[in-house]
Structure 1
């Protein structure tokens, strides 16, 4: 069953600057709406407070007149915009000012509350516009007492809200216009700011498109600032520089590998062609096959070396904790047995309990290459030492030979690079390259000290260097495994 492709929300497919402006506008809309609501509520409170004060004065006169039996028209004379009603407990109108409808201004629920305590209420709506908007203030004539039938129970003072409602409607219109104008201006400014801020990103994208088409040596134009975009540009330039360097190394590696592979392949092809030109005796064919097998073995060894040089860094999830003390001791013993060396010519001094994280096969290959170089180009005695220093494990291979040429030392780990005295001896020039690659992939550091000259490759640590008086010392600094 095929999986359906998950569609992204439509807004996520919009350009980044549009999404930024939309988010900014939404935030501004919330802020402006909140500010407008606050201003509206404060103004309405002030206007309602003025109306309530007028209603309280009018209601006090009405209530006193109802309690004392004073004729209401005499006490509460009619003022334009002001009204009153006198209600009984059944919500019937006992008396009212002119201009009011015959029914009560209070609903039954409002009357029930007004029989116990004063009630403020509004009649009519702000929007849509009501023909007779009123603000009411109902007060019980005898709070807590049950009024007799037909006797005044509640006085209702009312005042028209036309001016108050008109002021609020004008305020709402002004706030809406002001907020829309502010929102439009803020959105325009936000869009210009977002476009200006993202302009370097667009330039980076166009330069990346050029690089994707094959352009080399391209670098991004980074502004002389220290903001996020400038730091991104510098990081991308560093990445491009590392990419160009990696491509150069790859091309050089391919060229060197092609050159080195051509020689054994040519020898193998020549021997086989000569063997096929005329009939050969069994011993001659056997000799030819032995030579071809030797050339094939050289090709396999060279291919293994090339693969080791291109080894990827150690991944923590696939690495293992290695007992380095046991590994070194076993390697030196096997090498001594295979080479027929004496104990005083090749010996190992490893501190007990040394452990590192990595791959035993790769580290063993590196140590074996150092032993090969020490036996082939150095002089006895050869000493392998290992001890812990500042959270690291220091592994050294020292020989007592004449040492390397100081001019060759900085290039000792380059692929297929060999010193002049070593060109006449067997080898591919990949021994120290493999050691450097293995140490580097184990997050370590390689050092070579020969004839008093010291060289560090891929410096990582501040551990002091060792300077033996003679011979050559190759040092591998590896992070110790956490206990």
Structure 2
């Protein structure tokens, strides 16, 4: 049974969607039309039977009165066309009957047993197949509650032919069947056309998606100017295609930039080794070459580690441990103070503020921000941690000349460097790494310089709060439950 059901389900699932829709619609219509036709048939049959029963009741009353008084039944009974009667005793023997009836009682033994005590209505013959002499019977006891002796009048039976009634019902059944079939055919045709019209945009989407899968770029779905489900689906798919193309373009640009950045140290390393092998070298020269090669290799490793870190996965809040951001920033600031000039680094840290995440990654965020401030900014440099609207806010401010406002939207892009920093060491991946880690922690990065503001991943409300001079990089992270409650 289970295997057969699964097989039928698999076959049904392989049918086209429009066929399944039409089949389901036609099945529902068939049930509705059959129910409506059955209701009409029952109402018409009830009305026809009620009319026959009224005539039979009048005829039966005359027969019963005559049987009780002993009057001649032939004169009391109605003998119009198609009207019959019988007088039966308690043994189902015919005592008297209308002419034209075949020999034998019209009632079965069971019907007679009930007719001795109560009124019995019954039909003789069937509607389908057609019976030669269909009759409607109306049997009444002559003496209700008494038990007549054999040979004494016990039951009167009035009967009328049902030919016209049965013919009318058969014709009604035929008309209902034809009407229902015609209505079902029309409804199925209309349903098919409606399903095809409704699914036409989906088929267009499929064709355009096939073109995109084949490698064609810049393709967008033709969305109708409506606001139904299909149109909303098309607009959503177009937004998804735009996001995918944008992501693909960023990744392509990233690969090109990464290839360029990797090519430079690899070329230097190859050149140094080739020069070292062209002629015999002294031990000091070979040592110097190896040290230079080691430095280039270290740069390559650092660059590769940074590129790998750019693909950090989002943090699962429920499973991530709590990280004390206040203690993390305080410890890193103390490390940077070692060897720095006095009054270079300052801190304003509210203790006990925590977020859920990866301590090592968050440490890289703080390290990159402090590195940028020390390398490209000017003292005094201030690192702060405080609470803002249920968030933990981490900011690093320096008093340097700041960034060009036109560069701010590109500051966190990979391998993008301001013109003033191109002569300094670096790859342009610092803020890109910060943005990737902040995004993985469901946070927001803000870069503000010389009165200009830029937000990356704007997920929190609230204005920036920092000095107007210099450059301030702000990281907003969702506070851990214990920190938010505090």
**Does TM, normalized by the shorter one, top 0.5?**
yes
Pairing 1:22–2:41 present: no
Residue pair 1:118, 1:137 contacting (<8 A) in 2 also: yes
In the other structure, the counterpart of 1:358 is 357
Correspondence list, 1:55-70, <5 A: 55-70=56-71
Provide the secondary structure at the position in 1 that maps to 2:412.
Answer: coil
Tell me the CA shift for residue 242 of structure 1.
1.0
TM-score for both structures, normalised by structure 1: 0.93
Structure 1 regions of 5+ residues with no counterpart? none
Alpha-carbon distance in 1 for matches of 2:332, 2:92: 111
Q: Which residue of 2 aligns with 1:378?
A: 377
1:14 Cα shift?
1.2
For residues 260 and 280 of structure 1, the distance between their equivalents in structure 2, rounded to whole angstroms, comes to 30
Classify 1:355/1:293 alpha carbon distance in 2 versus 1 (closer, same or farther; 3 Å): same
- TM-score when scaled to structure 2? 0.92
Q: Write out per-residue CA displacement over residues 293-322 of structure 1, whole angstroms, 9 at most, x where no aligned residue.
A: 221111111112112223343345664443
Q: SS of 2:427's equivalent?
A: coil
Are 2:134 and 1:127 equivalent residues in the alignment?
no
d(CA) in 1 for partners of 2:97, 2:186? 54
Residues 444, 145 of structure 1: alpha-carbon distance in 2 compared, 3 angstrom cutoff: same
Q: Which moved more, 1:272-281 or 1:37-46?
A: 272-281
Determine the C-alpha separation between the residues in 2 that align with 1:135 and 1:7: 48
The superposition leaves residues 431-471 of structure 1 with CA deviations (integer Å, 9 ceiling, x where unpaired) of: 11111122223222211111222222232222111241322
What is the aligned-residue RMSD (CA, Å)?
2.1
Residue 203 (1) aligns with residue 204 (2):
yes
**1-structure distance, mates of 2:401, 2:293:** 36
Contact in 1 for aligned 2:86/2:98 (Cα 8 Å): yes
Aligned 8 A contact 1:404 1:472 in 2: yes
Structure 2 residue ranges without an equivalent (≥5): 1-5
Q: Which position in structure 1 is the counterpart of 2:3?
A: none
1:193–1:387: structure 2 CA closer, same or farther, 3 Å change rule?
same
Report the counterpart of residue 391 of structure 1 in structure 2: 390
Deviations 1:123-151 (A, max 9, x none): 11111111111111111222222222222
2:289 matched to 1:288? yes
- Deviation per CA, 1:18-71, whole angstroms, max 9, x where unpaired? 111111111111111111111111111111110111111111111112222222
Corresponding residue number in structure 1 for 2:475: 476
State how far apart, in whole Å, the 2-side matches of 1:167 and 1:70 are.
Answer: 37
Could you report, residue by residue, the CA deviation over 1:227-274 in whole angstroms, capped at 9, with x for unpaired residues?
111111111111111111111111100110011000111111122222
In the alignment, which residue of structure 1 is the partner of 2:10?
Answer: 9
Q: Residues 134 and 321 (structure 1 numbering): CA distance in 2 closer, same or farther, change over 3 Å?
A: farther
Distance in 1 separating the partners of 2:113 and 2:355: 88
Counterparts in 2 of 1:323 and 1:60: CA distance versus 1, 3 Å: farther
The corresponding residue for 1:460 is 459
> What secondary structure does 2:90 align onto?
coil
Distance 1:433 1:165 in 2: 89
Q: Does 1:107 align with 2:108?
A: yes
User: Residues of 2 paired with 1:323 and 1:154: CA distance?
Assistant: 104
Any idea what SS the aligned residue of 1:9 has? helix
**Alpha-carbon distance in 2 for matches of 1:92, 1:280:** 142
Which one is further off, 313-322 or 28-37?
313-322
More displaced 10-residue stretch of structure 1: 339-348 or 47-56? 339-348
- SS of 1:214's equivalent in the other structure is coil
- Counterpart CA distance in 1 for 2:324 and 2:153 is 105
The offset of 1:206, in angstroms, is 1.0
| Contact 2:59 2:78 survives alignment (8 Å) | no
Q: How many residues align?
A: 477
